[in-house]
Amino acid sequence: MKKRAMFRLNENYRYKIQDEAAIEDFEDGSLLFLCRQRKMIEINPTARRVLDLMNGKRNLKQIIKIMSHDYKLNEKNIREDVHKLVNDLGTQGAIKPLVRVAIKRRQKMDKSASIMSNPDVSLREETDDGAILFNADTDSLLIINPVGLAMWRFIRAHPRTKPNIVAHLKEVCEDVPLDQVETDVDKFVAALQGKGFIGEVLDEKRSYRGDSDFHEKKAAG
Amino acid sequence: MKNEATGAIPISMKKKPPDNPGSKTHKGIFLHASSVIVSGKALLFLGHSSSGKSTISRLLSERYPIIADDKVYICKNKNGDWSVCDGSDGFPLKQRYSPSAGRQKSYPLFAVLRIFKSKSMKIMPISPKETCRYLMDAVFEIDIQRKQKDLKIMKQWFALTAEISRKIKGWRLAFRKDLRILGLIKEAFE
């Protein structure tokens, strides 16, 4: 059975349509085509409006407010529909949260921060020895081992917290004590963050602490 | 395309890579489909392998000339209309399939029909959205297009099929293998 991708819904996140997606409008609704997946999703005019608003500049909370105003409906009712839509589209890989990439080493991520890969980083997988990461933004290379590669794959498409990553790697690597996995993940995350290979998913509650230290990036598809 | 003097293929032609269907210079696509000419216009039959595309073309060939029975090429002409020609020769050079070049006869696209084998004959209109879905299925049933990885080109195909669907009427045709199909097509499209 095919495993469904995990999608994290958060009203404080800003979302954006995936780069692989294209929308065409017809008189009776729209079609959203996911090029890589060769998948077609039918969307009604209300969903189309939500996608229009989802341009990476508004968070979900703001979108719900606008929809509630436009359709003259209670926010509570709109919220349920918007959540369902965003969850559906997110699970199908049609939208993504935006990522804020910390470039400076001194910006420390807390445990609850959602981490995602920097979309500008490309990955070249080697047969047995892990992979090479290349950050086009900073022109830096990083060689990672197979465990690093497992973590990279885990954070590539969806935001994950450090505990998520630890749990995942604990599953991948048998017979390794939990505290060792935690230490290794901490070190690896700090190394990746320091070189701008990963970033924190944009969350309004904590996003404007030190904007000079950040630059905004789209999330990886 | 042979050089008449030497019989050899000109060097410039050998070196020139074929155009990518869907690229900026190539406003056309291949479709896994069959097509016949009805009153000077092309009817396009879409369907998966063994859905009856060749069968329906053969049955209709009693009265209507066949353009192609497996692979067609659709492109937009200078007037903005969609033209259909045989795509069975494989990956073409741009000019070969350009209707204006006159190397291959093309016909204006009149209708898109998604065919299904059935015990009864029935034709009914479908929405542009549905037509677009069927056209995209036909795009990715062509080997060379299925392997395409370039997002820009795939988006271009989607835009082209959507444009065709908005302009050209789509139908769902349930048919059985007998000559009554001729009457049905005559009644609906002549």
Q: Is A80 left (phi over 0), alpha (psi -120 to 50) or beta?
A: alpha
Tell me the two tokens of residue A130: 């892990």
Q: Tell me how many domains chain B contains.
A: 1
Residue B71 domain-assigned (yes or no): yes
Instruction: Compute φ and ψ for A32, nearest 5 degrees.
Output: -110, 125
Mutate which of B126, B154, B165 to disrupt the A interface (most A C-beta within 10 Å)? B154
Strands B41-46 and B107-117: parallel
What pLDDT does A129 receive?
75
Q: What's the CATH code of the domain at B139?
A: 3.40.50
Please name every residue paired with B126 in a beta bridge, in sequence order, or none if there are none: B170
Mutate to test the interface with B, among A24, A34, A39, A48 (most CBs of B within 10 A): A24
| CB contact at 8 A, A92 and A41 | yes
Mean pLDDT of A53-81: 91
| DSSP code for A18 | -
- Euclidean distance between CA atoms A186 and A184, whole angstroms: 5
Burial of B75 (0-12, 13-18, 19+ CB in 10 A): buried
Q: Which residues of A touch B154 (CB under 8 A)?
A: 22, 33, 35
pLDDT computed for residue A47 by the predictor: 94
Query: Domains in chain A, ordered, with CATH?
Result: 14-97 (3.90.930.60), 99-217 (3.90.930.60)
String of DSSP letters for B138-161: HHTTSHHHHT---HHHHHHHHHHH
CB contact under 8 A, A40 and B133: yes
Q: Is B151 on the interface with A (CB under 8 A)?
A: yes
Measured CA to CA, the distance from residue B2 to residue A61 in angstroms comes to 65
Which of A102-106, A172-176, A191-195, B119-123 shows the lowest mean pLDDT across its residues? A102-106
In B23-150, alpha helices (H):
53-60, 94-97, 128-139, 143-146
In degrees, rounded to 5, the angle at the alpha carbon of residue B158 between the alpha carbons of residues B154 and B163 is 145
pLDDT (tens digit per residue) in B60-92: 999 999 999 899 999 988 888 999 998 886 544
Q: Which domain holds residue B92?
A: 11-189
pLDDT tens, position by position, for chain B (190 residues)?
333 333 333 333 333 333 444 444 557 899 999 999 999 999 999 998 888 999 999 999 999 999 998 999 999 888 889 999 988 865 444 444 444 444 568 899 999 999 999 998 999 999 999 999 999 999 999 988 888 889 999 999 999 999 999 999 999 999 998 888 999 999 999 8
Q: Judged by CB atoms within 8 Å, which residues 10-29 of B form the interface with A?
A: none
Q: What is the ipTM of this complex?
A: 0.79
Percent of chain A with pLDDT over 90: 29
Angstrom distance (rounded) from CA A163 to CA A113: 10
**pLDDT tens digits, residue range A139-188?**
788 888 888 888 888 887 677 888 889 998 888 887 888 888 889 898 88
Residues 20-39 of A with CB under 8 A from B: 20, 22, 24, 26-29, 31, 33, 35-36, 38
What is the band of A217 on the pLDDT scale with cuts at 50, 70, 90? very low
* Cα of A168 to nearest chain B Cα, Å: 30
**Min Cα separation B115/chain A (Å):** 20
